Amino acid sequence: MIRQPIITVLGHVDHGKTSLLDAIRDTRVASKEEGAITQHIGATEVPIDAIHNVAGPLIKKFGFNLTIPGLLFIDTPGHEAFTNLRKRGGGIADLAILVIDINQGIQPQTIEAIEILRAYKVPFVIALTKIDSLNFYSSKKGNFIDNLSTHNERSKQLFDEKLYTIVGELYKYGFEGERYDRCVFGKQIPMVPCSAHTKEGLAELITLLAGLSQKYLEKKLEISFEECAKAAVLESKEEKGLGKTIDVLLYQGTLNVNDDIAVLGKNGVIQTKVRILLQPKPMQEIRSTKDKFSSVKSVSAACGVKITAPKLEEVLAGSTLIQIRTGKEVDELHAELMEHNIEADINGLVFKADAIGSLEAMTNLLNKEGYTLRKAQIGNITRKDVMEAASLQAQDSLLGVVLGFNVQVDLDAQIEADKRGVKIFNEKVIYHLIENYKNWVEEKKRLEKQNEMNCLVMPVEFELIRGKVFRNNKPAIVGVRINVGKLREGWRVMNKEGEVIGKIEGIQSDGKSVEEAKLGEEVAVSIGGANIGRNLFEGDKLYSCIPIKHYAGLTKYLSELSEEEKELLQIIKNKQKTTEEEE
C-alpha cells in the first residue's frame, strides 16, 4: 500500500504560493492570513478522483498509470525568516513546487528555497505564475499548450524570452530547467506556466505532480505499519463543542483513537491519549473547519488530521507528535524542547514567540543579522521579561527591548515597560517584527550619533566680510561668510596662526538668532574677546578651536565629514598650539 505524496510549496514572498493552492482547491485562504503571507503550515488533500476530473485527458496523453491515492500539499511560508520551518517542510516533503513569478524571476527567497531543496534532495517542479499579467499574452482557463497555440508568433517569441531568462537564472544555481512539454524528465526541471487567476496550466501542473510521484517515488511512498506514528503539529486551537484541539500533519505510520501520544508543551512533554480523530473532507484546507470534518477511528500517513485529547491546553505549534510505544519517544521530545529554548547570562535580546517554528525562525534571522539572544522562549511577554530587558539598558540601549511574535503582553509587563522606558515590539507578521526592530535600531543609532556630534566642535572656516563690522569689541559684531563646515554658538575661534581670538557668543540670520550657520551662509556673529583693529581685521579667516578631547569623537565620525571638512580638520590640528589651555 502506498500513501499520498507530501508536496511542499516554496518560493519568494508574494509570488503566489497560497493563491496557487487556492486555485487548486478553489477556496480562499490567502486573504485570511496576516500580511498576506501564510504564517503556519497548512495542509490540503487532493484525492485521486479530483486529479482525474481536472487532468484526466493529460494523464492519458503522458501515459501515467496512477495508483497513488491522491496528493497532500503543505503550504510552507515563503519568506526567508522561516528558514527552519521550511526545512521542516522540506524534510518531510516528497516533492516540491517552486513558485516563480514569471515577471520577477528568481528573487532572494527563491534562491533560499533552491538551496533548501538541494540540501534535502527534494525533487521539484517549477510553477511559473502570473502569466495572466503579461501584456502580450491572453490567459484563459484550460491547458497552457493549447492556449499558446492560438497566439501569434511574436507573442510566442516574447513568452519564450521570459521563460528562458529564468532558465538562465536557474542555471547559475546548478539546475537546468525547461518548459514541461520539452523537458527530459530526470535530467531537467519541468517548468509549468500557469495562472492562479484564470487557472490556466493547473491541469498540467497537477498531472506532472501525480505522474512524477508515481514514476519516481512509488517505493518511498510505501507505508510500513510497523513504524511509530509521527506528525507535525500545525496549530493548537479552541473548537466549539470540542474544547482544545490540535491540527497535525501525519507523515509517518498510523494513528488510532485511544493511542497514547506525546507532544511538546510550554512546560515540557505532554503525555495524553487520543480521544477523537477528525479528518478533513477531500479538497478542503484544514484550517477552514466549519462542517468540513468527519470522525474516523484511524488515520494513516500522509494526511492532515484534527485531534482532541485531554491536556492539550499548552501544546506548542510546530512541535513533533509521537505515538508512544516504548517510552523512548518521550526522551526524544525532551531533547527537542531543550534545543529550542535559550536562556543565557549574556548581553542579548529577549524574545518570546507563540510556536516553535516562529521561535526557530526568529532566532536564526536575528543570528544572521548579527544579534545575540539572552532569552528565546515560547509564551506571553511577562513582567520578568521586561525587567530582564531593563537590566540590559544601562549596558546597551539597543538591547533594552522585548521582541514578541504573535503573543500577548501581560498587563503588569506593559505597566513595567512604560515605567522603565522598555520598548516592546509585538507583531503578527514575523518579517514586520524584524524590520521594525531594525528600523528602530537605525533611528536610535542616528539620534545617538546626532547627539554625540552636536556635542563636538566641528572643523569650520569662515571669513570676515569687508564693510560688515557692526561693533569693534565687547563683543565684536561682524558679518561673516562660512567657507567650510558649519559654525555653532559657544565655540572658540582662532586665526591662521592658531591664536585664540575669542568665543562665538551669538549668531543672527536676517535679524533672528540661530544656533548654527551652515556652509555658504552669510550671518552676523558676536565674538567675545575679539577687538577689531587689534587681533581681528576685515577679510581675516577664522577657524574653530577644537578641544583635544574632541578629536577622538571626530575620528569616530570621520565618514560623516565632507572631504573639505576632513582636510580642514588636519589643517586646524596643525595650527592649534599644543600649549593652548582648554576650557
**Single residue among 217, 244, 272 that ends a domain in this structure:** 217
Residue 71 has pLDDT above 80, yes or no: yes
Say how far apart CA 127 and CA 499 lie, in whole Å.
75
Kindly report, residue by residue over 73-118, the tens digit of the pLDDT: 875 544 433 333 433 444 677 898 999 999 999 987 788 778 778 8
Q: Looking at the structure, do residues 90 and 192 belong to the same domain, yes or no?
A: yes
Residue 58 has pLDDT above 80, yes or no: yes
Q: Looking at the structure, do residues 240 and 294 belong to the same domain, yes or no?
A: yes
**Hey, what's the cell of 83?**
528558514
**Single residue among 297, 314, 337 that ends a domain in this structure:** 337
The count of domains in the chain is 4
Q: Looking at the structure, do residues 52 and 127 belong to the same domain, yes or no?
A: yes
Q: Looking at the structure, do residues 19 and 147 belong to the same domain, yes or no?
A: yes
* Selected catalytic residue, list 12, 15, 40, 79: 79
C-alpha distances (whole Å) from 145 to each of 142, 152, 204, 275 are: 9, 13, 9, 50
Q: What percent of the chain has pLDDT above 70? A: 88
The CATH number that applies at residue 408 is 3.40.50.10050
The CATH number that applies at residue 95 is 3.40.50.300
Q: Looking at the structure, do residues 22 and 39 belong to the same domain, yes or no?
A: yes
Q: Looking at the structure, do residues 120 and 13 belong to the same domain, yes or no?
A: yes
SS3 156: helix
- Residue 396 structural domain: 341-439
Q: Kind and range of the H or E element at 81? A: none
Q: For residue 542, what pLDDT is reported?
A: 96
| Nearest one of 9, 7, 98 to 46, comparing CA atoms | 7
What pairing do the DSSP bridges indicate for beta strands 476-484 and 461-471?
antiparallel
Q: Looking at the structure, do residues 476 and 381 belong to the same domain, yes or no?
A: no
Kindly report, residue by residue over 402-413, the tens digit of the pLDDT: 999 889 999 999
Q: For residue 233, what pLDDT is reported?
A: 84
Say how far apart CA 357 and CA 234 lie, in whole Å.
10
Of 104-118, 288-302, 542-556, the one with minimum mean pLDDT is: 288-302
Of 320-324, 378-382, 452-456, 574-578, the one with minimum mean pLDDT is: 574-578
Residue 474 has pLDDT above 60, yes or no: yes
Q: Would you say residue 209 lies in a domain?
A: yes
Q: In which residue are the cell numbers 503582553 written? A: 409
Kindly report, residue by residue over 318-364, the tens digit of the pLDDT: 778 999 988 888 887 777 666 666 677 778 999 998 877 778 777 87
| Nearest one of 83, 136, 133, 147 to 104, comparing CA atoms | 133
Q: For residue 118, what pLDDT is reported?
A: 80
Q: Looking at the structure, do residues 333 and 348 belong to the same domain, yes or no?
A: no
Q: For residue 27, what pLDDT is reported?
A: 40
| Nearest one of 339, 298, 343, 295 to 320, comparing CA atoms | 339
Residue 500 has pLDDT above 90, yes or no: yes
Q: Would you say residue 148 lies in a domain?
A: yes
Q: Looking at the structure, do residues 359 and 388 belong to the same domain, yes or no?
A: yes
Q: What percent of the chain has pLDDT above 90? A: 54
The CATH number that applies at residue 536 is 2.40.30.10
Say how far apart CA 534 and CA 539 lie, in whole Å.
14
Segment 446-467 shows an average pLDDT of 94
Is 79 a catalytic site residue? yes
According to DSSP, residue 532 is labeled B
Q: Would you say residue 453 lies in a domain?
A: no
Residue 28 has pLDDT above 60, yes or no: no
Kindly report, residue by residue over 239-259, the tens digit of the pLDDT: 888 889 998 888 889 999 999
